[in-house]
Structure 1
Amino acid sequence: MPAALHSFSFLPLSDIVAQHIMEKFSSFRDPGTGIQPFLAPVPPQERDFFVTFLTPVRVIVAALRTAVVIVLTLVHFVLVHVIGFLCRPVLPLQDLISWLGTALLARLALYAIGFWWVSTELVVRKRGKLPENKWNPRAGDLIVSNWSSWIEVLWLAYQYNPIFVLPVANAPTALSSTRDASSISYTPGRKTGTGSAAISSVNRVLSSPEVIHGFRQAPSSAPLRSLEDIRRSVRRPVVVFPECTTSNGRGLLRFTDVFNGASVPAKGYDIFLMCVRYDPPTLSQPSLSHSIPDTTLNPLRHLFQICTCLSPQSISIRQLPLSESPSSQLFMVNEVCAVLIARLGKMKRIGFGWEDKYAFLDFYRGRR
């Protein structure tokens, strides 16, 4: 028997499948760090009799929890978007309904999913120094964060009732029209001859950044506006995700220049930086990051999966004090934010951007 076949003969089938999947998508492994930022993290492959035995209970609990979250979502829509819309002539009343309804219902949803508490830490980069400014975002302030799941969106909604903005850009045609990941070239991994460099030599290049044409408030179909225009006109903080897409949380994607046109230095508003981290999945805890969206009813399937966990869910929020945020004269706000958030979350920065995620999803859904 050949040595390669002999080594595989002792591997469980699930391990062989997992290794095959990793090799299949190795062209989307960051060449500088060896990190695959788009595939969902998978738990260990060994079996657990206790987890298997409780499967029927976990399914029933997940169904009940998911139903509760759906009901809370419907109540939020009626309360905030219907009743709140009817109260538009009285802006203070509309703001009160939006704040109370969002904070209460979002927190109940987090409880139903299993987030009984959320670990929040104010991180000071200099040891022994007390933070001069605590987090208190006001209307027009920017909250800048990495993005791994819809869960941090729910937490931000509960905590600050902000405005979420979505960037709009042209689809990367050169990548979207290429369904074969071997059509362009680089060698993934460090060029050491071992490790990730030895997995595959599938050819690929990192995409070039696309220009952001404007932003649209979510959920909304309003005309495109600049981030500065939105920031000046809203009565709540504004959340920006410069990665412009979700990753699996293993690294920080390349930041898009979402601050193009914003006033620097920041005058009349503050920039708050935070980083979200999730624990790796286990046999009883599915991955909390959500890097691959479902094509229909997203993220309902992911919600059901994480609701099968019978133990409390864990999320870590690390925030930078306002005194250490980029509010001074800086030549590239997005670059400074990327550096600070990476340090805040102890994450490696990755050369891939949302354009590469676009190509990954095209390849992933076309080759399944």
Structure 2
Amino acid sequence: MEKYSQFRDRGSGIAPFFPVLSQPAGLYMPVHIFLFLIKLPLLITISTTYFLFLQWFPLGSLLKKAILWLILGIPGIWWIDLQIDGVKKGSLAKKHEGRVPEPGNVIASSFTSPIDSLYLAAIFDPIFTVSYPHTRQVQYISLFGAIFRALSKPREYPPKGAKMTDLRTLVAEHPTRVIVVFPECTTTNGKGIMPFSPSLLTAPPQTKIFPISLRYSPPDVTTPIPGLYWAFFWNLLSQPTHCIRVRIAEVVYNTSKPSDTTAEKKEKYLSNFMDTLGEDSATTSSTDTLTSLNDQTAEVNADERRVLDKVGEALARLGRVKRVGLTLRDKLAFVEAWSKRR
């Protein structure tokens, strides 16, 4: 692993992109194979039936959540260790008001595994979004899209033709739903918190933002390397049980005030672009235009940085990890290097 030393955080030495190795099965290998062969067809059958057919029927939120819990139960995800800041164990029913996400709130979740989205859907029935490091806007995706994205190659910029919006608009249009944001923009192995996208800064000031940390035991179901589908399913289905450790932090509000310079730059850039749109010398592609505009709107001031730092520190504290300086661009470079090795 020394050849990948450049993908370790310089301050802490943490490597958030390395895959987590499974414990050797040893004499229990026949048992693991048996469990895998029993669980795989069940998981495929129920998941396919739900995502292709049942999710489009008006089954109601409770029935859909029950099916999702069944999907979680097949791999043996039975034990949920839940802790909430400011609430003692066993007293959640008495002091839950304002301590857990409710409709109209935003969840800023850690992003380590496809199970993240499945668990959040089974609990909150939320709207899932995709964040990008160079824009404040988000992409609205389905539950299946969120699950698939945890196994896919990360993107630094939105795909061409993607419908982008912001959290303020989503909260206004869906007041009865929780909004889920993965501010790290890509998956890690759970050993560090990456720098955040500025997408959380579009949340309305009165909207509650709940940092939620999800950790797994054993941790080999994390998917920091994209494309390893069979390795993920083997680790998920060959084990008897899995545990999810859920930590919910206290509410964070977007108390920042965006600087006028960002809006001025955006307006000036659009004006200049429209003026030169008809000239032959204007050969800038639509992709380059979007990239430049996104880079400008992603700039944050000191006040906005404090809000992002507060959420990041909460996730790091909940997960008992440290924040790292490695970015999504470093993740892309690591994936390319790892692919060449394989």
- Indicate whether the TM-score tops 0.5: yes
For the pair 1:325 / 2:256, whether they are aligned, the reply is: no
Deviation at 1:337, TM superposition (A): 0.6
On the 8 A contact 1:274/1:341 being kept in 2, the answer is yes
| Aligned residues with identical type, % of pairs | 28
Determine which structure has more spread, i.e. the larger CA radius of gyration. Answer: 1
For the pair 1:232 / 2:194, whether they are aligned, the reply is: no
Structure having greater relative contact order (Cα 8 Å, sep ≥ 6): 1
On the 8 A contact 1:106/1:154 being kept in 2, the answer is yes
For the pair 1:340 / 2:314, whether they are aligned, the reply is: yes
Deviation at 1:241, TM superposition (A): 0.8
On the 8 A contact 1:80/1:101 being kept in 2, the answer is no
Deviation at 1:258, TM superposition (A): 1.5
* RMSD over equivalenced CA pairs, Å: 2.6
Aligned counterpart for 2:242 among listed residues 313, 330, 334: 313
1:62 is matched with: 36
For the pair 1:216 / 2:146, whether they are aligned, the reply is: no
Amino acid at match of 2:33: V
Deviation at 1:148, TM superposition (A): 1.0
For the pair 1:288 / 2:221, whether they are aligned, the reply is: yes
1:254 is matched with: 195
SS at match of 1:325: coil
Aligned length: 272
2:131 is matched with: 167
CA distance in 1, matches of 2:106, 2:320: 22
- 1:39-71 Cα distance to aligned partner (Å, 9 max, x none): 112246xx6xxx433323311211221221211
SS at match of 1:291: coil
SS at match of 2:79: coil
For the pair 1:31 / 2:10, whether they are aligned, the reply is: yes
2:234 is matched with: 304
2:273 is matched with: none
Residue segments in structure 1 that go unaligned for 5+ positions in a row: 1-21, 84-93, 169-209, 282-286
TM-score when normalising by structure 1: 0.67
On the 8 A contact 2:107/2:178 being kept in 1, the answer is yes
CA distance in 2, matches of 1:148, 1:55: 26
1:139 is matched with: 103
Structure having the higher helix fraction is 2
On the 8 A contact 1:275/1:319 being kept in 2, the answer is yes
CA distance in 2, matches of 1:301, 1:40: 10
For the pair 1:152 / 2:116, whether they are aligned, the reply is: yes
On the 8 A contact 1:254/1:350 being kept in 2, the answer is yes
Q: Following superposition of structure 1 onto structure 2, how do residues 339-358 of structure 1 map, counting pairs within 5 Å?
A: 339-358=313-332
- 1:310-367 Cα distance to aligned partner (Å, 9 max, x none): 3x211200112xxx31126343232211112212222111111222111211221133
